[in-house]
Structure 1
Amino acid sequence: MAALLSLVVVPGFFTSEPVRTAVVIGGAAAVVSGVVGVFTVIRGQSFAGHALADVSSAGGAAALLLGINPLGGFLLMSVLMATSMELVRVDRASERDLVTGIVTGAGLGLAALLLYLDVTTSSTTGAAVTVMFGSMFAISASIVPLALAVGTGALLAIGVLYRPLLLCSVDPDLAAVQGVPVRLIGLLYLIVVALAVALSAVTVGAILSTALLIGPAATALHLAKRPGVAILLAAAIGVVATWGGILLAYDSYEWSGGHGWPVSFCIVALIFVAYAVVAETGRGRRRLESPAAGATTHVA
C-alpha cells in the first residue's frame, strides 16, 4: 500500500503547509459550492452565479490594492452585487439577464482598473492571475478561520431556507399561493450564492469559480432524482475534484520539470471530465429508455 501511495503522491505532499491550507479552504469551498449549486441549477440561475463570480473580481483586486484579506474583498463585492440584482424590480427573465449582463460588464471594467492600479502603484506582481484564476498554494493560512466561518454560515443558511427555497425553486407560483415570501427567499438565496462564490474565487479564481458552483451540481443532478441526494453528491464530487486537482497540480512539479500546472486548471478539468462522462452516460440511458427507441430496447 505504501509503495502504491508513493507512486501517486509526491514526497512532501502531506507535510506541506501550503498544501494543507489549500486542502482545507478548497474543501470548504467545494462543499458550499456543491450544496448551493444544486439550487442554482434547479432555479436556472447559472448566469447569475457567473455574474456574481465575475463582479467579485473587483473586490479581490481592491483587496490586493489595499493590502487587506482578499476573501473579504471578494465577499463584500459579491454580496453587494447579489443584493443589487434582487432589489432591482424586473419581472421578465430577459430583462433580468439584461440588467445582470450590464452590471457584470461594469464590474469587470472596475476590476480591470483596480488590477491596473495594483500593478502600477503597488508593484503587485501576478495580481491579475491571482484574482482571475486563483493561486491556491499561495493562500495564507490566516484566511482559514474566516473561510470556515463563511462556509459554515452559508450551510446553516441553506439548512434554514431548505424547504421554502426548494418550493420557490420548483414552483414559485405555488410557493406564493402558500404564503412563502418568494422575493425575500430569492434575496437570501442570492446572498448565500455570493458567499459560495467568494469562497470559490479565493481558491480557483473569480473567472473559474462558476465551474465549482455549477459543474458538480449539474453532474449530481444527472445521477440523483431527489434534491437531498443531489446535494450530498454535488458536495462529494466537488471535494473529490478539488482535492484531486490539488494533488495533480502538486505532482506536476515532479514530472513537468519543476513548472507545475495551475491548481485551478486541474480542478476544473476534473469537474469537466466528470460531467462529460455522466452526461454522456445519461444520454445513452435515455436513448435506451425512449419510446422512439423501442426496437433498440427490445433487442437489449
Structure 2
Amino acid sequence: MIGAAFFSNGPVQVALIIGGGAALVSAVVGVFTVLRGQSFAGHALADISSAGGSAALLFGIRPLAGFLAMAALGAGGMEAIGARQIRERDLVTGIVLGAGLGVTALLLYLDMTTTSASGAANTVMFGSMFAIAPSTIPLALGVGALALAMTAALYRPLLLIAIDPDLAAIRGIDPRLIGLAHLLVLAIAVALSAMTIGAILSTALLIGPAAAALRLATRPGTAILIAAAIGLCATWGGIALAYDSFYWTPGHGWPVSVFVVMIVLAAYLAAGPLGTALARRRMAGS
C-alpha cells in the first residue's frame, strides 16, 4: 500500500533520490549513446563496472566508487586500443568486456570465499536499491551533476559527429577526443545505474528510455526531455511497486530492478505505434 509510510521510509527516500538521479543521467547520456550507435559500448561498460562493485565489497569501500573506477578504466581501455570502423570498435569493446567479466568472476569468488558477503553476486548484478547507504547521496548527486555538465559541454560536438562526421572534421572537431569524453560520461551513467538496478540490467535504463524517446521526437532536445520523463517514471514507479510487493507475498518483496525494466520495456513498445501516429500527424499538417 502506497501512503504516508512510503515517503517517510528512510531506505525508500534514499532509493528515490539516488534512483532518480541515476535515471536522469542515464536518459540524457543515453540519447547521445543511441544516436552514435554505441549501445553495445554502454552494455559493455555496465558489465565491466560489475568488477568494480565486486572489488568494493571485497575491500570494504563505497560501491559507487568501485563501479565508477572500473567503468572509467573500461572506457579508457576501449579508447586506448583504438578503432575507427564500427566493426573494429565492436571487436575492441567485446575484448575489453570479456576481460572485465573475467575479473568480475574472480572478485565475486573471493567475495564469497573470504568474506561474509554471501549475496555479493546478486547485489552486484541485480542491484539492491533499498540497501544503499544514505551517505552515498552527496557523492552520487555530485557525480551525476558532473556527468550532466560534461554532456551539456559536449552537446553540439556530439550531435555534429553523430549527424555529419565529415562536417565535424572540417570544423576542427577531434572525433577521438570527443569520443573519449563521451565514453567517460557514459561510464558515469552506467556506474550510477549499476549501483541502483544492477550491472546486468543497467543497460535497460541507459538505452530503453532514450530509444523510446527517439521514436517519439524529431529533435534531440525534445528526445532528452521525453527520455528523462520515461526514466524517472520507470525508476520511481519501480520503487513504488517493489515496496508494495511486500504485501503481495508477505516478507518477500520483489526486486526493484524487475519493475524498472518492465516499465521501460512497456514504454518502448508503446512508443512504436505512438511515434508512427505522431509522424503521420506531422506529415498531414505539413
Shorter-chain TM-score tier? over 0.9
Structure 1 CA distance, aligned partners of 2:173 and 2:95? 30
Q: CA RMSD in A?
A: 1.6
Q: Secondary structure at the match of 2:7?
A: coil
> Any conservation in 1 of the 2:77–2:96 contact (CA below 8 Å)?
no
Structure 1 CA distance, aligned partners of 2:118 and 2:82? 41
Q: Deviations over 1:230-267 (max 9, x none)?
A: 11111111011100000000000012222111001111
> Any conservation in 2 of the 1:25–1:144 contact (CA below 8 Å)?
yes
Q: Deviations over 1:24-46 (max 9, x none)?
A: 00000000000000000000100
Amino acid in the other structure paired with 1:62? A
Q: Secondary structure at the match of 1:13?
A: helix
Partner of 1:221: 214
Q: Deviations over 1:47-93 (max 9, x none)?
A: 00000000000000001000000000000000111111122222221
Identity, % of aligned positions: 63
Q: Deviations over 1:121-177 (max 9, x none)?
A: 012121001000000001111111100010000000011111111111211121011
> Any conservation in 1 of the 2:126–2:198 contact (CA below 8 Å)?
yes
**Which has the larger displacement, 277-286 or 111-120?**
277-286
Partner of 1:160: 153
Map 1:204-283 to 2 at 5 A: 204-283=197-276
Give ranges in structure 1 of 5+ residues lacking alignment.
Answer: 1-7, 292-296
Amino acid in the other structure paired with 1:210? T
Structure 2 CA distance, aligned partners of 1:231 and 1:283? 19
- Which of these residues, 160, 182, 186, is aligned with residue 189 of structure 1? 182
Give ranges in structure 2 of 5+ residues lacking alignment.
Answer: none
Instruction: Confirm whether residue 124 of structure 1 aligns to residue 117 of structure 2.
Output: yes
Q: Secondary structure at the match of 1:124?
A: coil
Structure 1 CA distance, aligned partners of 2:176 and 2:114? 43
Q: Normalising by structure 2, what TM-score?
A: 0.95
Structure 1 CA distance, aligned partners of 2:93 and 2:151? 23
> Any conservation in 2 of the 1:38–1:221 contact (CA below 8 Å)?
yes
- Which of these residues, 189, 193, 201, is aligned with residue 194 of structure 2? 201
Instruction: Work out which of the two has the higher radius of gyration on C-alpha atoms and give 1 or 2.
Output: 1
Map 1:1-300 to 2 at 5 A: 9-10=2-3, 12-283=5-276
Number of residue pairs matched by the alignment: 283
> Any conservation in 1 of the 2:216–2:278 contact (CA below 8 Å)?
no
Q: Secondary structure at the match of 2:135?
A: helix
Residue 103 of structure 1, CA deviation:
1.2
